[in-house]
Amino acid sequence: MAAKEELYAKVTPRRQRQSRPSTVKHGTTLDVLLSMGFPKTRALKALVSTGGKNVQAACDWLFSHVDDPFLDDPLPREYVLYMRPSGVLLQQLSHFWQQSRVSCGKNKAHNIFPHITLCQFFMCADGKVEALTEALQATVAKWKGLIPMPLPLELYTSSTFIGLFVEEQMAEVLKTFALDFATEATAKADVHVEPHKKQLHVTLAYHFQASHLPNLEKLAKTVEVSSGCDWLAVLYSRDIRFANHETLQVMYPYVPQNDDELELAQGDFIFMSPVEQSSASEGWVFGTSLGTGLSGLLPENYVNRADESDTWVVHGSHSVLTSASPSNSGSSVAGSLFDGQLNDSLFDMDPPGLTGLCPPMQVLRPTCQSSLSKMRLFVCRHGERMDVVFGKNWVSQCFDAKGRYIRSNLNMPSSLPARSGSHRDYDKDCPITVFGSTQARLVGEALLESHTGIDFVYCSPSLRCVQTAQNILQGLQQETKTKIRVEPGLFEWTKWVSGTSLPVWIPPAELAAANLNVDTTYRPHIPISKLTVSESYDTYISRSFQVTREILTDSKNLGNTVLIVAHASSLEACTRQIQGLSPQNSKDFIQVVRKIPYLGFCACEELGETGVWQLVDPPILPLTHGPNHSFNWREMLMQD
């Protein structure tokens, strides 16, 4: 408690500067929340905690924080304005980030993505946040096209710090931009913003071991500082109560065994203060959940260290080269993880209340509209799977003694494809749910609305992937026009398959007989016979890169757009190396993968005829969904 009071005292003077009455500008979004009966203070807190995305995100946040003891706390969030690189320079910096982490371990720079700090952290009342974002939009509109690119950067190294410093004259231009934002923010949102007065720079490494300096310096010199780049002015916020806490991420769900323990949802973030650890015994930590706001003890081996910025919320992202339109696009590729036997099901739950978080470092934002003549690659994860929703024993529950399928829930498909083998083969090769089919059709309909056609569809041999591809094509109204090519080389990392054998997949001829539009004449690049159980990580990454490259080569000059429907891991494994980036280590790879939800979707474009690709914004909006628990009216409504 003493530590919390000290923290509150620290921020009180900044709160007192906000003396004018707040002006609410959330408009219809706030009105909808108020009409639903939420108090205004809670509705505003939910909106700013989710980046003001939409009513659904705010409602999800409110429902998950219903028992949060600080739900009605008036303490505002803390905000900061950064300049973030994109394009080729971001690729260069991402490569440095990953290579330095692999060879030298994590240093303090890894806590926050590459950026140039434009101002100090400042407080803003919840009711003023909309006005604050408008201040940023107005500033960017005023400066559009006036900041020369590329920014001149110079490498600086010392025994304790490595960074890229902005040339002095250009730094003064950026400081003037920051000063204009501070003026706009004061006028519109009644906040006090202090522009950064020190030398402007991108930090590459600090607080590292002296023995790592030569290697870090060598890696830093590989960064092409003159690489093309669109810099983005991005406004972030964080919860001031946890500014000095260590950030952890939940690897496994945990159900409390005692009253003082914290329930853990996979993917949630935990804030841990060293001051509060005296109450925890060995092997346990005391922390507070980002997803629920609740605090308690949790097993240490259920969490992993995360970066501070993983929990930050984006409130506006604007290109200084193009128009000042806000961008909150996320990506299907991001990052944090663990070793051991994993399965696709580990990545199936979207943690509550985590919408609007800081977008991942590797997203490339196109500075112009994509040309329709460019080669495009879409990679999509399959839809909601049966064994995750209904448990690993769903097969035993849904098949009778004669092997006949009988569904017991509306979210189970009314029928399943016939299998030449045993129905027990569904244990390792499960179908998607009814909702999974709906998810996939929504994606197809969105592609249709965006006037995006698909020339070729390739998918993993897993039934859930084939069914997802079929439903995407139905939504796209191409289910009879475009055939699905089943490619075993797109199957997930075989280390994640339980047992000592691979799944028994339904052959293409039988899939076609089950009215799935599969190309029975297609000859795979990597046949099933070439897959091995418990393959190494390097083998999986090499396999994914090889098959993706061969698919793109086959499709070139025959069509512009290729869709791959496979697994969560495919969004990273099939796109990373075609961008010219080196593979991540296995731990960072799994951290990326576990954040990818059902129907997670990413897009790549080829840069001219170079054979080099870059991630770009997909032509469709992301699809957000949440878990829905089983409801039994007898148990719920007939209690004494």
Q: Give me the DSSP letters along 403-440.
A: --B---STTS-S-----SS-GGGGGTS--B-HHHHHHH
Q: How far apart are the C-alpha atoms of 439 and 196, rounded to whole Å?
A: 45
> For residue 636, what pLDDT is reported?
53
- In this prediction, residue 77 has a pLDDT band, given cuts at 50, 70 and 90, of very high
Q: Which two tokens stand for residue 349?
A: 């739950």
Q: Express each pLDDT in 318-361 by its tens digit.
A: 888 754 333 443 333 333 222 333 444 444 444 444 445 554 43
Q: How far apart are the C-alpha atoms of 236 and 238, rounded to whole Å?
A: 7
> For residue 1, what pLDDT is reported?
44
Q: How far apart are the C-alpha atoms of 161 and 138, rounded to whole Å?
A: 35
Q: Which two tokens stand for residue 284?
A: 């346990």
> For residue 632, what pLDDT is reported?
64
Question: Burial level of 236, CB count in 10 A (0-12/13-18/19+)?
Answer: buried
**Residue 236 pLDDT > 50, yes or no?**
yes
Tell me if residue 313 falls in helix, strand or coil: strand
Q: Which two tokens stand for residue 47?
A: 């909106």
Q: How far apart are the C-alpha atoms of 329 and 360, rounded to whole Å?
A: 10
Instruction: Report CA 632 to chain centroid distance, whole Å.
Output: 33
**Residue 369 pLDDT > 50, yes or no?**
no
- Structural contact between residues 38 and 27, judged by C-beta atoms closer than 8 angstroms: no
- What pairing do the DSSP bridges indicate for beta strands 161-166 and 77-84? unpaired
> For residue 33, what pLDDT is reported?
86
- Structural contact between residues 302 and 269, judged by C-beta atoms closer than 8 angstroms: no
> For residue 600, what pLDDT is reported?
93
Residue where the block lists tokens 């390739």: 458
- In this prediction, residue 638 has a pLDDT band, given cuts at 50, 70 and 90, of low
**Residue 614 pLDDT > 80, yes or no?**
yes
Stated length of the chain: 640
Residue where the block lists tokens 């997670």: 600
Give the range among 123-127, 285-289, 408-412, 593-597 with minimum mean pLDDT. Answer: 593-597
Which helix (H) or strand (E) segment is 565 a member of?
Answer: strand 561-566
> For residue 436, what pLDDT is reported?
95
> For residue 344, what pLDDT is reported?
46
> For residue 587, what pLDDT is reported?
87
- What pairing do the DSSP bridges indicate for beta strands 303-305 and 601-606? unpaired
Per the prediction, the chain carries an average pLDDT of 84
Question: Burial level of 180, CB count in 10 A (0-12/13-18/19+)?
Answer: middle
How much of the chain exceeds pLDDT 90, in percent? 54
pTM of the model: 0.52
- Sheet of strand 456-459: strand arrangement: 484-486, 456-459, 561-566, 376-381, 601-606, 613-616
Distances (CA, A) of 2 to 5, 8, 271, 289: 5, 10, 17, 20
Beta bridge partners of 286: 297
> For residue 360, what pLDDT is reported?
42
Question: Burial level of 393, CB count in 10 A (0-12/13-18/19+)?
Answer: exposed
> For residue 86, what pLDDT is reported?
83
Q: Which two tokens stand for residue 455?
A: 């020339």
Residue 410's CB is within 10 A of a number of other CB atoms, namely 9
Arithmetic mean of pLDDT, 513-519: 95
HSE (side-chain half, CA atoms, 13 Å) at 484: 30
Residue where the block lists tokens 């829905």: 628
Beta bridge partners of 535: none
| List of residues 6+ apart from 136 with CB closer than 8 A | 81, 181, 184, 185, 233, 235, 315, 316, 318
CA angle at 429 for the pair 387 and 376, rounded to the nearest 5°: 100
- What pairing do the DSSP bridges indicate for beta strands 376-381 and 601-606? antiparallel
Q: Which two tokens stand for residue 436?
A: 């999974």
Closest Cα to residue 253, out of 299, 307, 312, 305?
A: 299
- Structural contact between residues 615 and 604, judged by C-beta atoms closer than 8 angstroms: yes
- Structural contact between residues 498 and 412, judged by C-beta atoms closer than 8 angstroms: no
Amino acid identity of residue 191, one-letter, is V
Q: Which residues are catalytic?
A: 381-382, 567
The DSSP code sequence of 25-75 is: --HHHHHHHHHTT--HHHHHHHHHHTTT--HHHHHHHHHHTTT-TTTT--P
Closest Cα to residue 110, out of 96, 120, 91?
A: 96
Which helix (H) or strand (E) segment is 486 a member of?
Answer: strand 484-486
Q: Which two tokens stand for residue 233?
A: 């002015």
Q: How far apart are the C-alpha atoms of 286 and 297, rounded to whole Å?
A: 4
- In this prediction, residue 226 has a pLDDT band, given cuts at 50, 70 and 90, of confident
DSSP symbol at 462? S
Residue 53's CB is within 10 A of a number of other CB atoms, namely 17
Beta bridge partners of 250: 303
- What pairing do the DSSP bridges indicate for beta strands 561-566 and 376-381? parallel
Tell me if residue 308 falls in helix, strand or coil: helix
> For residue 55, what pLDDT is reported?
86
- Structural contact between residues 575 and 360, judged by C-beta atoms closer than 8 angstroms: no
Q: Express each pLDDT in 147-170 by its tens digit.
A: 877 889 999 999 889 999 999 999
Q: Express each pLDDT in 294-306 by its tens digit.
A: 999 999 889 988 8
Tell me if residue 456 falls in helix, strand or coil: strand
